[in-house]
Amino acid sequence: MAVKERVGLVVSDKMQKTVVVAVENRVTHPKYGKIVVKTKRYKAHDEENSCQVGDRVRIRETRPLSRTKRWVVADVLDRASQV
């Protein structure tokens, strides 16, 4: 069975060992043909608390870790710029 992976942006890191990742999906509207951006938010496990808001991360599906957490951060692709 293939492992599901998604690439998204960290939008919240306020929980311990958990980040919220927003994944954008571009789909064509069935009737009007316009490209619509749909966003889905996933809670992902971040064991080292290494992710910050603005990071681009790859998440991988895993067994249920809590009531809402079914994903784990596989790796950090881009770090957010520090200002």
Beta-carbon contacts of 9 under 8 Å, excluding residues fewer than 6 positions away, are 21, 22, 54, 55, 56, 57
Separation CA 21–CA 40 (nearest Å): 8
Quick check: is 62 in a domain?
Answer: yes
pTM (2 decimals)?
0.89
Torsion of CA 64, 58, 54, 19, to 10 degrees: 10
Quick check: is 29 in a domain?
Answer: yes
Quick check: is 54 in a domain?
Answer: yes
pLDDT in tens, 31-73: 999 999 999 999 999 999 999 999 999 999 999 999 999 999 9
The domain that contains 73 carries what CATH number?
Answer: 2.40.50.140
pLDDT in tens, 21-42: 999 999 999 999 999 999 999 9
Quick check: is 83 in a domain?
Answer: no
Quick check: is 30 in a domain?
Answer: yes
Tally of helices (H runs) and strands (E runs) in the chain: 0, 5
Domain of residue 65 covers 5-78
**Total number of domains in the chain:** 1
